[in-house]
Amino acid sequence: MLTSPSPEGSLDPRQVHDADPSSVPPAPARDNRFMVMVISGLVAVGLGVGAAALPVPYVIESAGPTFNTLGKDGDKPVITISGHETFPASGNLDLTTVVMTGGPKSPATIFDVFRAWVDPSKAIYPEELIYPKGTTAEQTVQQGEIAMETSQENAVAAALRELDIPFEQRLTVAGLSDPSPSAGKIQEGDRLISINGKSITSMSVIQAELAAAAGAPAAVVVDRKGTQVSETVTPTKNDAGRYVLGVLLASDFTFPFDVRISLDNVGGPSAGMMFALGIVDNLTPGDLTGGKHVAGTGTINADGAVGPIGGIAQKMIGARSHGATMFLAPAANCADVVGHVPDGLQVVKVDTLADATSAVERLASGQDTAGLPTCTNN
């Protein structure tokens, strides 16, 4: 309860009665303005706290946990192979992750953004750069799961191809680009059989043929609902300067044995390369790492090509904080690597699974790794 302030000293009652009434100061009154100020301040604080708790259109990336593809996730091995001889593997081939705050799944607040802004280990992006407008939480989860499943299949294919273990890959047309040189000739659902007389066993066969022909028309045979159809398609160049048929392809694999990857609560395609390395290590005698601690990131396709990912600065921080001394980074991410490498971490740039395997083998053998390719400003 608010009370009027007491006088600084006490007065003798007799002095009060003897004094001139006009000289006696009136008793201090309650200041209503002060009460209004107090209430207004409390309301402003409440509104400020409420506003700060509202979601803001930003996404924050932080270093997440790492998972050793040669070890376990909880009580389950990350990689389990049955139907083929395997070999015990030690050391670490860590896949790295980022924690995303913001977006449809977990909206960020202004407090989250402020804390990230003063923390150099975190990155802040406008939400629309990460999630297309209108994306729901359910769609985000579903897309992450599909990307993870695809990356695992590609990792198995890339590892087996690296080890010269045969398997079957069927390429089916999932759609056409817009515009497409194949429009009116190749249809969604067609399975590619051959190009210029060569059996299509992988994407690399198509790419090699188109590159060798340097834009000349290509003879393409497809299986359309059980009937083989021959078409001639004149390829065009894409933004990367490669000749393409303008078709979107989906792969369907048949592997000679079973490879299962178990990893909970992780989505997206960026673990592909590290899964492939883990599979290679499990299928070959000895330790690929020589007991060393290696981490990395990168997408992978069935031909073993390593592609770029997001959040690499945070992934390098997470890798080093969990003990890694070498980090395998996609060459396409080099611009994001330079200037963000933690002390004590050697970053090796890789374009293919073969590059990654060679770098790890060199580290394991005790050879000097200073000559391995790295990211520079040049």
* Secondary structure of residue 360 in the 3-state scheme: helix
Query: Residue 27 has what pLDDT?
Result: 44
Query: Residue 323 has what pLDDT?
Result: 96
CA 37 to chain centre: 50
The residues, any chain, with a CB within 8 Å of residue 41's CB and separated by 6 or more, are none
In terms of Cα–Cα distance, which of 303, 313, 286, 295 is closest to 352? Answer: 303
Query: Residue 25 has what pLDDT?
Result: 47
Q: Please list the ranges in the chain whose pLDDT falls under 70.
A: 1-53, 377-378
In terms of Cα–Cα distance, which of 301, 327, 308 is closest to 162? Answer: 301
Considering the entire predicted model, what is its pTM? 0.79
Query: Residue 43 has what pLDDT?
Result: 52
Q: Decide: residue 378, CB within 10 A, 0-12 exposed, 13-18 middle, 19+ buried.
A: exposed
Query: Residue 145 has what pLDDT?
Result: 82
The residues, any chain, with a CB within 8 Å of residue 314's CB and separated by 6 or more, are 61, 62, 63, 64, 98, 121, 122, 123
CB 263 within 8 A of CB 73: yes
Beta bridge partners of 229: 222
Query: Residue 364 has what pLDDT?
Result: 95
Convert 12-28 to b/e letters by CB count within 10 Å (16 or more is b). Answer: eeeeeeeeeeeeeeeee
Residues 109-153: pLDDT tens digits?
Answer: 888 888 888 998 999 989 888 888 888 888 888 888 888 888 999
Query: Residue 23 has what pLDDT?
Result: 40
